[in-house]
Structure 1
Amino acid sequence: MAYTNSSLVSYTKLSPNHSGQRTHSIDRITPHCVVGQCSVETLGNIFLPTSRQASCNYGIGVDGRVGMYVEEKNRSWCSSSSANDQRAITIECASDTTEPYAFKDVVYQKLITLCVDICKRNGKKKLLWLGDKDKTLSYEPKSDEMVLTVHRWFANKSCPGNWMYARMGDLAEKVTAALGGGASGTDGSGSAQGTQASAFSGLSEADVVKSVGALFTADQKKTGILASVSMAQFILESGYGKSELAQNANNVFGMKCSLSGNTWSGSTWDGKSKYTKQTKEQNADGSYETITADFRKYPCVEDSITDHSAYLLGAKNGNKLRYDGLKGCTDYKKAVQIIKDGGYATSLTYVENLCSIIERWSLTQYDVKESGTAIAWYRVRKTWADSKSQKGAYKILDNAKKCADANPGYSVFDVNGVNIYTSKTTTVEVPFLVKVSISNLNIRKGPGTDYDRTGKFTSIGVFTIVEVKSGKGATAGWGRLKSGAGWISLDYTTKI
């Protein structure tokens, strides 16, 4: 069984702390957090035999560099489950020294890039987050799937920290999207497995606010509803994601199964999953009554947020939108009043409560300003890890491509470090022979991952390339097979 180590590695210090070669193919990735904003060199010293009896395959330092400490072919001592030791690539990431053990953005982005790289080299096109220990241990991934698992299920400590644990669904989604896979971050049944409200249970109120801010900013970019207003509703309706309904149904807005005007478009609720509980309703005279109601149950918090926004934008009272004027409203006080006037809540102090929450946590910092879209810089480098080779950063993709074309051997990388374009190959003498060392190298109909797969794979052996072109998804370019079967990525070949 052959294993190839990541090309993203910039520092290597191999540790003897491992259990020898694997006896199972790699189909799991286990992210950890090493407490402290340490470097890859410090991690290498931690894994010396005279130090802690621990190790990992890879580590990501505070500056985003990747270190390798145990080769992929060997099992590290980073996990406590022998069944998963056989199957998992383990990654330690530099984190804060206190809960929720947050990562710097450069570390998190490199974790995404490294996971993409690992999946690609192992022939995977989906990364799954199942969110449950028993479900994960019993799940047998399909041939094109990789599964995320965590140390906290096997050891009496919070690893990864709550900051990362709450983002496992986001990590799976971003990696799967970069791989061009299907429904990202799914459990094999097609249901999304994003952020689970259970991840909020151990966080402070301040940490919950920090951990969900990006989710609501992203929602505003899609819907035009102020992030600050939706966040305040989330806090009030779910008690910072810790209410019974949130913890058991990922329902963070108190959305009932039956709502007036519930035929809006864009709903993410499946129409049948529900959670029944008692709830209090306030009457016009200020008195309360307790009723039993059915509430919507969602597979993840993101679906609850999306459904809530879809309701606010589409629910009607007769032919008139219930919350007309909410989309695009930039005044949070006015937006909150629109929601109250539309009949969203029975509480007589709903407006005051939401405004107080917004002001307490300065939630307007999460609102999208002006155009609402951040500049997505495209960077031209030899490799993502080689920042010193950068030729420039561009707002317009076509300009970045032109720069790459003018510099043979350079590629265009997006904000997550994913190679999205490789400079056009200069003169390449063809035909030539290449050796393929994996049995499942995809053959495509054209030079790039944006072309369909033919449904066939190469075998292990030697092949003749008669044409080379640049294209999406390959640094070394794409080669056309003499047999006429199609195109293969030259990243996975050795020229003879």
Structure 2
Amino acid sequence: MFATYGYAVELFAYLCRMYGLNPLADGVIISHSEGYRKGIASNHGDVEHIWKRFGLSMGQFRKDIRAAMDGSETGSGSGGNGGSGAGVSGLTGIMGKAAATAEQMREYVKRKNPDAAQSVLDMVPLYLSEGEAEGVRGDVAFAQSCLETGNFMFSGSAVTLEQNNFAGMGVTQNGRKGLSFDTAQLGIRCQIQHLKAYACTEALVNENIDPRFKYVVRGCAPYVEWLGIRENPQGKGWAAGAGYGEKILSILKEITGEAGSAGSGSVPGNPVEPMSGYVKVFYKGRDGVDVRTAPCMGDNVDRVVYEGIYTVTGISLDKRWYRLKSGLFITADAEYVMFMERLPGKSSYLVRVDIPDLNIRKGPGTDFARTGLFTGAGVFTVVEEADGKGAGKWGLLKSYKRERDGWISLDFVTRL
């Protein structure tokens, strides 16, 4: 229940950021029963009739959404994710307070680049001060700069130290030199403003010096994981490279000392290889799915999960275990989980089926069992797409949305 509540908080926070809404304002977020009392909905008791069993309320829900928008943990979470600042579903907000200190950031650069220019070390605090001014996590911006500049070595980078452009801004294609700034502070300020454009719809505090600010779809990437175009649900983002956001977070974990804190990530004879994506737990058994401290069976169960989508950072050599962002491991067995290269899109649409015997399967692929039912000819609503064996794309039918166990091949439909 609380995992579902957490996902709802995160979704509504995302939508409020995107459309510039205040979740605490009257009439912005209401339940079905509240809508009935306002005369705009039918007489139903949801969601309060369920939530009250768990001590939850619409008032708390709205407060938790506001807290999520401000970069805080909601009351339904089960502990944080250390210095990474992860939210209730494991995604890391760009807006909020930095977890890393200036000293930690300097020490990271010294370890990775002993020959770093003194000017680089001197400008580190600017990430925190400029980030704080706009409500952006300065440590996230710094980790991004480390990625973009090769830890300020600028080897193979499209920009140089003299440009004061530490995030490849303006390098929209090969051969482009990118933007230049008079001082390091202005370059960092521009980067912070560009991150804010992606992360939320709030107005800038300082005067806009980002010439590409206007080209960003405001609020399309509130999480670090969504800065990569491939991982962003809307196909937007800062960079096109696979796992861009995860690479930033990997650096951030090294800066804060989190890297490897949940285990070594491998066992003798079964090392872990890097992998980017997401895993959806769909197993509905009462015993749930074990999350383990190592990629093997044994007395190593850390927790049990029953639902949710988790970020994958690696896979064991035997291909039987996914390493999660937390450093823990979950089975790769398709009977319990489904791997996704990117987060599923949220938009629904109508399709027309002209054949009478289109199979409905329990998952997106011919390797999932048939339900024994057919759609029949008619018009249906698809609420999510996914890749899978046996078809170019698979679609989740709206009537199966709750349990996520009714998928059809989109090769046999016409989109309306």
TM-score in same-fold range (> 0.5): no
Structure number with larger C-alpha Rg: 1
TM-score, L = length of structure 2: 0.32
